[in-house]
A and B are shown apart, each in its own frame.
Chain A
Amino acid sequence: MNKKILILGVIIVGITVTIFTSFSTPSETVNLDMGRTHGTISTSMGSPILGNPSAPITIVEFGDYQCHQCNNWYHNTKPSISHDYIETGKINLVFMDLAFLGNDSPKAAQASYCAEDQGLYWDYHDLLYNSQEPEIDGGWANSERLKAFAFSLGLDMDLFDGCLDSGKYSKRVQYNIQQAHKHGVKGTPGFFIVGPDGQQQIGGAQPFSVFKQILDPVI
């Protein structure tokens, strides 16, 4: 009798563990709204939304983690936009990859989505821009360094390594690049300010004053 109870217990525990594991294993559908669009841009494969998801205006940024001008914009313009518009809930931001500058660019973009699997997309995104070095493909964003960044954020390294090494998000990054081509983005960073009345394209790492002049009248 006790033996039967023991076997039954093991089976129940086994089934419970299997069910729990299958639900907690991240899949590509995590954090993805497959129908998400902003204006004419399909952002379903882009980053999670930064800021208030129901904000009436969205900045869609096309960028490359190895691009110096993207880094300029990240450090010189984005903080003011975050402070004045994103943190106040007036607008939100979506990052899309136009990873074209070197061999390490697509891998860095894929790594950001591997971090998203564990709920740390924006932390990883920030870490990449804060760690950017001047040389394109100089090794600062190679696979080893990308894994080291993940480790420094305390991510589960088995999950992260498996994700990055398998190229799980390769097609996702390619899809984002296709969206950039489709919308005539000819360099990074490139922006679309999408509001209820349409969308406006801005090219380059333009200063905060330009974004303010466009955003203020439509908010």
Chain B
Amino acid sequence: MTQAIKLVFSHSTYLAISFVIFASMLVGLLLLSEYIFLEPYVVSHLPPGTEFGLFLIVILSALSALVIPMNIFRISVLKSSKQKMNGSIFGSVIGSIAGACSCGPIGFALISTFGSIGATTTAFLTNYETPIRVVAIAVLTVTYFTTVKSLKIECKINS
């Protein structure tokens, strides 16, 4: 398993992609979930009872940063199928939008633009934020293991 990770992340390009994905997802989700604010001052804030939400965001960002570059590697270097890439993108996107649509600007814009459909979507994504994130993490985890398995076969790595 570690050999597959070493194989991919020994290339600086994939390490950079991983860092960009992790940083952008983490900062973006922390902003949307109001763990950090940029205006009027840069400040971080962890209200009591929201610790688990923060934990899920960190795990989601880390898994996305691990799985997406591995699949880009498979597609670009090994010319493999894009099927597992879809799983990693799906997990990342679903996990991200779950927390974005609450009473913040995205939820507000969604409701203002799409009316009752937007309101229903926002309510669903807000009500089931934690289960959706857990499912997204599960999807990414499964994608990670299948990707590692594929890399072992395609690159003939000994476990």
Contacts and interface: CB of A to CB of B under 8 A. Distances in A.
Interface of A: 64, 67-70, 72, 75-76, 100-103, 134-138, 186-189, 200, 202-207, 209-210, 213-214
Given A76-B47, A207-B43, A187 B37 contact: no
Given A187-B103, A203-B37, 12 more contacts: A64-B103, A67-B102, A68-B103, A72-B50, A100-B119, A101-B103, A101-B123, A136-B122, A206-B45, A209-B43, A210-B41, A214-B40
A68 B48 CA distance: 13
Interface string B108-129: 1101100000010011001100
Given A206-B43, A214-B40, A101 B122 contact: yes
Contact of B43 (A75, A187, A210): A210
A210 B37 contact: yes
Nearest to B118: A100
Contacts, number: 75
B87 interface: no
19 contacts: A68-B102, A68-B103, A68-B126, A72-B50, A100-B108, A100-B119, A101-B111, A101-B119, A136-B122, A137-B123, A187-B105, A189-B103, A200-B40, A203-B37, A205-B34, A206-B43, A210-B40, A213-B40, A214-B40
A109 to B, nearest CB: 14
Contacts of B41: 210, 213
A100 B50 CA distance: 23
Contacts of A68: 102-103, 126
A-B residue pairs, 10 tightest by C-beta: A67-B103, A136-B123, A207-B45, A188-B103, A187-B104, A186-B105, A187-B108, A187-B105, A72-B47, A76-B47
Contacts of A134: 127
Interface of B: 34, 37, 39-41, 43, 45, 47-48, 50, 102-105, 107-109, 111-112, 119, 122-123, 126-127
Nearest to B34: A204
A213 B50 CA distance: 24
Nearest to B116: A103
Contacts of A102: 119, 123
Contacts of B43: 206-207, 209-210
Contacts of A138: 127
Contacts of B107: 101, 187
B103 A70 contact: yes
Contacts of B47: 72, 75-76, 205
B109 A186 contact: yes
A148 to B, nearest CB: 22
A192 B109 CA distance: 20
Contacts of B112: 100
A189 B105 CA distance: 10
A142 to B, nearest CB: 14
Contacts of B40: 200, 202, 210, 213-214
A98 B131 CA distance: 27
Contacts of B104: 69, 187, 204
Nearest to A67: B103
A53 B107 CA distance: 34
A80 to B, nearest CB: 13
A176 to B, nearest CB: 15
Contacts of B34: 69, 72, 204-205
A200 B112 CA distance: 24
A138 to B, nearest CB: 7
Contacts of A100: 108, 111-112, 119
